[in-house]
């Protein structure tokens, strides 16, 4: 029991500590200006962890604080993924406008489908609430995983290499989003008996993601936050711009 409590504490403390390091480094180097959404997400999650730790002696407050915090976290992750795409396309004005429009249309449509699916969950009381949130999480993780997968599939097309800080941030999210998608799916279909897997693997996957972010943020300096190399996107952007000005 003592070992379990220690492990649980470690899984909570480590990511919050790493996120505090990320926030400090981004403030010191001015990186928060280049990635304001990612900075906000990391700062929010660190503060949320501290807040939830203070609520552990109050089960009801902790229960709703945790799940509503999760809801906000999903939205922020979606915004961070948008920020990554926007940074990749910032040199290509026309493609950026089209890409942003398509990104939000797809995100809104998929999110509405996720909400509709979630709120059609059967049950009552806190059980229905948890099942609804889990169903929403599964749907949102599918949206996030799909967007991140597309980013990695077209990494060379974007001129994005593993050494780039944007790649590192996306990789950190991909690690825990994909693992959490699998864990949530197992939790939904396996029911309450599999809550132990959800309880341990979910924070463990987030620890891995936080480690990846810390490595890239600490390793990269302001001088490394330069424009990505020009790729075929430049030709596409120029072609679309010519078509729009005819």
Is residue 156's pLDDT more than 80?
A: no
Structure tokens belonging to residue 220: 């990269």
End-to-end Cα, the chain, rounded Å: 72
* pLDDT value of position 89: 72
SS3 state at 1: coil
Range of the domain at 139: 2-244
Report the alpha-carbon distance of residue 115 to residue 187 in Å, rounded: 18
Q: Which helix (H) or strand (E) holds 103?
A: helix 93-118
* pLDDT value of position 27: 93
Q: How confident is the model at residue 220 (pLDDT cuts 50, 70, 90)?
A: low
**Average pLDDT for the chain:** 78
Least confident of 40-44, 52-56, 111-115, 236-240: 236-240
Condensed to tens digits (0 to 9), the pLDDT of residues 16-42 reads 999 999 999 999 988 889 899 999 999
The helix/strand count (H/E) of the chain reads as 9, 0
Q: What percent of the chain has pLDDT over 70?
A: 72
Domains held by the chain: number: 1
């Amino acid at each position: 029991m003592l070992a379990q409590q220690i492990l649980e504490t470690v899984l909570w403390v480590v990511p919050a500590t790493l996120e505090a390091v990320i926030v400090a480094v981004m403030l010191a180097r001015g990186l928060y200006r280049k990635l304001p959404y990612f900075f906000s997400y990391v700062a929010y999650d660190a503060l949320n962890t501290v807040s939830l730790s203070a609520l552990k002696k109050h089960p009801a407050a902790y229960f709703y604080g945790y799940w509503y915090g999760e809801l906000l976290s999903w939205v922020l992750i979606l915004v961070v993924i948008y920020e990554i795409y926007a940074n990749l396309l910032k040199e290509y004005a026309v493609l950026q406008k089209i890409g942003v429009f398509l990104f939000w249309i797809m995100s809104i449509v998929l999110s509405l489908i996720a909400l509709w699916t979630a709120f059609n969950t059967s049950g009552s009381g806190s059980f229905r609430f948890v099942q609804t949130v889990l169903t929403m999480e599964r749907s949102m993780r599918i949206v996030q995983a799909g967007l991140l997968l597309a980013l990695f599939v077209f990494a060379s097309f974007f001129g994005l290499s593993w050494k780039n800080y944007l790649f590192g941030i996306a990789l950190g999210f991909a690690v825990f989003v994909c693992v959490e998608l699998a864990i949530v799916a197992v939790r939904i279909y396996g029911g309450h008996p599999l809550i132990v897997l959800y309880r341990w693997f979910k924070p463990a996957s987030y620890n891995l993601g936080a480690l990846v972010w810390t490595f890239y943020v600490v390793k990269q300096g302001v001088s490394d936050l330069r424009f990505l190399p020009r790729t075929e996107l430049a030709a596409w952007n120029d072609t679309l711009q010519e078509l729009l000005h005819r």
